[in-house]
């Protein structure tokens, strides 16, 4: 992948001309379904010293007003924008992280919903009860998803299937970053009502 970072300096008079000359790729934004609208964007791989980003996406302001929380699909792979867009006069520059997988759930109307997520961390601990080690699930994960009308329905105790295991929401952070939700998930026992093969946990609304 070409590196256009050398000329990407603020207030450069030649930026617009060079932007138009650069190789573009078609991306989807937010609506990642088959046949959805695509947009022209310049895609840069992150440099090795950029630990907080997987891709840098440049898109003209007249094409799309990209922002924190947006999903970007590049070559059929979803990414999520975790940081505010950088204003570069006539285009936006955003840092995106590659999503690890998708949360799936049935909403109140019985419709299947999905949300690509970025895994914040993986922590595990040994469960202890009455002075002895027990074999109960005690792993915690944090995933970040887009805040939208569908994900707004997710509440504490909502369950998901990940890695063929069941996880329950124990905490929700929707304040730290605009347009994003960070869910803390605690591993729990699989229910007989869960559809493990389909990756969908049973939730009582």
Residue after which a domain boundary falls, among 98, 125, 155: 98
167 vs 29, 133, 157, 200, CA distance in Å? 28, 21, 9, 11
3-state secondary structure of 12: coil
What Å distances lie between residue 124 and 31, 53, 65, 127, 185, CA to CA? Answer: 34, 25, 39, 9, 12
pLDDT at 28 over 70: yes
Per-residue pLDDT tens over the stretch 15-26: 677 777 888 999
Terminal alpha carbon distance of the chain: 47
The pLDDT of residue 127 is 43
What pairs with residue 102 in β-bridges? 116
Please give the angle made by the CA atoms of 29, 160 and 183, to the nearest 5 degrees: 65
Average pLDDT in the 113-142 region? 66
Tally of structural domains, the chain: 2
State the residue range of the domain holding 24: 5-98
Shared domain for 50 and 111, answered yes or no, is: no
Residues in Cβ contact with 33 at an 8 Å cutoff, skipping those fewer than 6 apart: none
Tell me whether residue 71 is in a domain.
yes
Among 98, 127, 156, which residue terminates a domain?
Answer: 98
Residue 104 token pair: 């799936």
pLDDT for res 73: 97
Last residue of a domain, one of 98, 120, 142: 98
- pLDDT by residue (tens digit) across 1-10? 555 454 455 5
pLDDT score, position 121: 64
CATH assignment of the domain containing 80 = 2.40.10.370
Q: Specify the pLDDT at position 45.
A: 83
Model-level pTM?
A: 0.83
pLDDT number for residue 135: 47
Tokens coding 5? 């970072």
Q: What SS3 class is residue 70?
A: coil
Mean pLDDT of 187-202: 95
- Which residue is it, tokens 């256009």? 4
Cα(185)–Cα(166) distance, rounded to whole angstroms? 9
Domain-embedded: residue 90: yes
| CB-count burial class (<10 Å; 0-12, 13-18, 19+) for 46 | middle
Provide the mean pLDDT of the chain: 86
Q: Are strands 128-129 and 55-60 parallel, antiparallel or unpaired?
A: unpaired
Residue 151 lies in a domain: yes
Residues 61 and 118 in one domain: no
């Amino acid at each position: 992948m070409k590196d256009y970072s050398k000329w990407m300096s603020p207030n450069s008079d030649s930026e617009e001309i060079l932007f138009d000359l650069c190789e573009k790729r078609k991306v989807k934004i937010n609506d990642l379904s088959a046949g959805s609208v695509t947009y022209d964007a310049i895609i840069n791989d992150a440099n090795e010293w950029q630990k907080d980003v997987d891709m840098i996406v440049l898109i003209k302001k007249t094409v799309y007003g990209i922002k924190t929380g947006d999903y970007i699909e590049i070559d059929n792979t979803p990414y999520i924008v975790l940081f505010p867009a950088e204003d570069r006069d006539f285009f936006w520059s955003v840092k995106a992280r590659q999503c690890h997988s998708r949360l799936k759930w049935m909403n109140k109307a019985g419709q299947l919903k999905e949300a690509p997520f970025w895994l914040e961390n993986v922590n595990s601990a040994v469960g202890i009860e009455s002075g002895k080690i027990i074999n109960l699930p005690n792993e915690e994960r944090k995933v970040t998803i887009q805040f939208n009308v569908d994900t707004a329905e997710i509440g504490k105790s909502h369950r998901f299937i990940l890695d063929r295991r069941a996880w329950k929401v124990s905490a929700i952070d929707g304040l730290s970053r605009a347009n994003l939700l960070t869910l803390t998930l605690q591993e729990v026992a699989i229910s007989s009502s869960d559809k493990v093969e389909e990756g969908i946990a049973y939730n009582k609304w």
